[in-house]
Amino acid sequence: MPSLIDPRIVREFQEITGPAGCLTGPADAAPFLAEWRGRYHGVADLVLLPATTAEAAAIIRLCGHHGIGVVPQGGNTGLVGGAVARSQVGSPEVILSARRLHAIRDLDPDNYTITAEAGCVLAALQSAAEEADRFFPLSLASEGSCMLGGNLSTNAGGTNVLRYGTARELVLGLEVVLPDGRVFDALRALRKDNTGYDLKQLFIGAEGTLGFITAATCTLYPRPRGVATAVVALPDPAAAIALHSRARLALGDELIAFELLGRQALDFVLEYRPAARDPLSRPAPWYVLLEIATARDQASAEADLEAFLADCLESGLLSDGVAARSGPQREAFWGLRHDISDAQRVGGASIKNDVSVPVSQVAAFLEAAQRRVGEMAPGTRVVAFGHVGDGNIHFNLSQPVGMEPAAFLDLWEGLTAEIGAVAVGLGGSFSAEHGIGLLKVPELHRYRGGVELDLMRSIKQVLDPAGIMNPGKVLGD
């Protein structure tokens, strides 16, 4: 990693962090420069790992002083290139990793809150809550490596949004190092705090362009006593939406997840993971994985789900389905869902889209988007799945069998633009939960021009006039 930064400045960074917090060798830096989808490869002058908020503040102050770009990074599982450094002559960049900021500072069971540092891995937060008989509901397939700061900076969604909201809705307080090195300390654990503008929300979903999150106070929920899960077969997405409406009415807040899977997605998983089993004896075009959680015991959760499914079978809303009979079977159902992204590799080159529409428009979206893809790239295999209970569809595409992967990837821009346009035309968004990063900057300009983009630029200008925080991400270069 040949550095564009003067060795004397490198020594100043080393003085702030100590040797363990300043990586200069290529082997040490490599994991911070690779990106999950392999679309981008980062170039950074240094990787800096502060162990305290004060160290992070000193680093950012020094970067500001020398005009060095700061690329915040958590678990590096983002899917839009937001944590990729792009150092070049004239604009050096460092990666500022939250990895060593991983303490849980406080867990207050009576206040149902947890205060943790940005580098806490999401699964560790979930476990800490569980040990205290509480529940931290944010849940993503990447939870074994993504980190709280990254989750908040992307306003992560995941599988429990339906009941508990996105990451934004779980935050009560925040601590952020601003681009000028000052610390915005709003780590309050209050549910009522109407004291002017809600500034912490500015940093949530900002993808590191406004500051470096160092810690957050999040709300916890009671740990559910009973959790029951089922997979049901459906003829089409419209049936899934009808089932969703019925489930919300019948199950109320007990319904925590409602995930749609197309048959192509399941076929890829079965091929990719030989140990995986088709959940039902007969194949169906579409499936829903639904889960309920209750404050009552396991038997009650199972009874509620059974009663709901029986009612749907009787009324003709469903023709086939199976409820998990054990913990391992429940995990196997979720495995089918969580493996889709990886399993898509068996289908060759893929183009991935993460859009949202109002739940009532999901079927219309899928119908129109599939039709357009069929017209533009005949033979493309649609791998549609997602958090349909909150209108979020991962509308992924796998290359036609026998097509050159590169030729299919050449269609990326055109297909993605078309799918975004279909979603936006139905009142939806071209980016549901993955954010903008580098990948979707053109779409942001296309769909959020005018007043919205002006306001975003003004906020960036006020907080980061020198543009050192995550250069080029979200608003573009």
Ligand X SMILES: Cc1cc2nc3c(=O)[nH]c(=O)nc-3n(C[C@H](O)[C@H](O)[C@H](O)COP(=O)(O)OP(=O)(O)OC[C@H]3O[C@@H](n4cnc5c(N)ncnc54)[C@H](O)[C@@H]3O)c2cc1C
Shortest distance in whole angstroms from residue 393 CB to ligand X = 12
Under the binding rule (CB under 6 A), the answer on residue 202 touching ligand X is: no
Convert 388-397 to b/e letters by CB count within 10 Å (16 or more is b).
Answer: bbbbbbbbbb
Structure tokens given for 96: 């500022």
d(CA 393, CA 267): 18
- Which of 205-213, 255-263, 281-289, 370-378 is the region at the interface with ligand X (rule: CB under 6 A)? 205-213
Under the binding rule (CB under 6 A), the answer on residue 470 touching ligand X is: yes
d(CA 105, CA 35): 30
∠ CA 333-358-320, nearest 5°, is: 35
Shortest distance in whole angstroms from residue 36 CB to ligand X = 5
The CA distances from residue 263 to 238, 259, 340, in Å, are 15, 13, 11
Binding test (CB under 6 A) with ligand X, winner from 10, 141, 202, 332: 141
Under the binding rule (CB under 6 A), the answer on residue 21 touching ligand X is: no
- Site for ligand X (CB under 6 A): how many residues? 37
Amino acid identity of residue 211, one-letter, is G
Shortest distance in whole angstroms from residue 366 CB to ligand X = 19
With 0-12 CB in 10 A as exposed, 13-18 as middle and 19+ as buried, what is 94?
buried
Convert 409-419 to b/e letters by CB count within 10 Å (16 or more is b).
Answer: eebbeebbebb
Under the binding rule (CB under 6 A), the answer on residue 115 touching ligand X is: no
Closest to ligand X by CB, 69 or 78: 78
Is there a contact between 75 and 89 (Cβ–Cβ < 8 Å)?
no
- Which of 16-24, 105-113, 135-143, 422-430 is the region at the interface with ligand X (rule: CB under 6 A)? 135-143
Under the binding rule (CB under 6 A), the answer on residue 318 touching ligand X is: no
Closest CA to 211 of 470, 439, 416, 465: 470
Under the binding rule (CB under 6 A), the answer on residue 36 touching ligand X is: yes
Shortest distance in whole angstroms from residue 6 CB to ligand X = 25
d(CA 179, CA 70): 9
Closest to ligand X by CB, 418 or 433: 433
Binding test (CB under 6 A) with ligand X, winner from 9, 147, 218, 324: 147
Shortest distance in whole angstroms from residue 33 CB to ligand X = 12
Under the binding rule (CB under 6 A), the answer on residue 149 touching ligand X is: yes
Closest to ligand X by CB, 118 or 239: 118
Query: Which position's Cβ is nearest ligand X?
Result: 150
CA end-to-end span of the chain: 24
Q: What residues from 78 to 107 belong to the interface with ligand X (CB under 6 A)?
A: 78-79, 82-83, 98
The CA distances from residue 195 to 24, 102, 178, 203, 441, in Å, are 44, 29, 20, 17, 33
Structure tokens given for 455: 């306001």
Under the binding rule (CB under 6 A), the answer on residue 208 touching ligand X is: yes
Under the binding rule (CB under 6 A), the answer on residue 24 touching ligand X is: no
- Which of 140-148, 304-312, 355-363, 438-446 is the region at the interface with ligand X (rule: CB under 6 A)? 140-148
Binding test (CB under 6 A) with ligand X, winner from 151, 264, 344, 396: 151
Under the binding rule (CB under 6 A), the answer on residue 50 touching ligand X is: no
Shortest distance in whole angstroms from residue 215 CB to ligand X = 9
Closest to ligand X by CB, 6 or 28: 28
Amino acid identity of residue 151, one-letter, is N
Under the binding rule (CB under 6 A), the answer on residue 153 touching ligand X is: yes
Is there a contact between 447 and 430 (Cβ–Cβ < 8 Å)?
yes
d(CA 167, CA 219): 10
- Which of 156-164, 216-224, 270-278, 416-424 is the region at the interface with ligand X (rule: CB under 6 A)? 156-164
x/- letters, 336..375, toward ligand X (CB under 6 A): -----x----------------------------------
**Beta 320-323 vs 212-219: how paired, if at all?**
unpaired
Is there a contact between 410 and 393 (Cβ–Cβ < 8 Å)?
no
Closest to ligand X by CB, 301 or 441: 441
Is there a contact between 85 and 42 (Cβ–Cβ < 8 Å)?
yes
∠ CA 285-286-287, nearest 5°, is: 140
Helix ranges, 44-160 (H): 53-66, 122-131, 148-153
Binding test (CB under 6 A) with ligand X, winner from 42, 92, 137, 150: 150
Under the binding rule (CB under 6 A), the answer on residue 460 touching ligand X is: no
Q: What residues make contact with ligand X under the rule CB under 6 A? A: 36, 71-79, 82-83, 98, 118, 140-142, 146-147, 149-151, 153-154, 156-158, 207-208, 212-213, 341, 433-434, 437, 470, 473
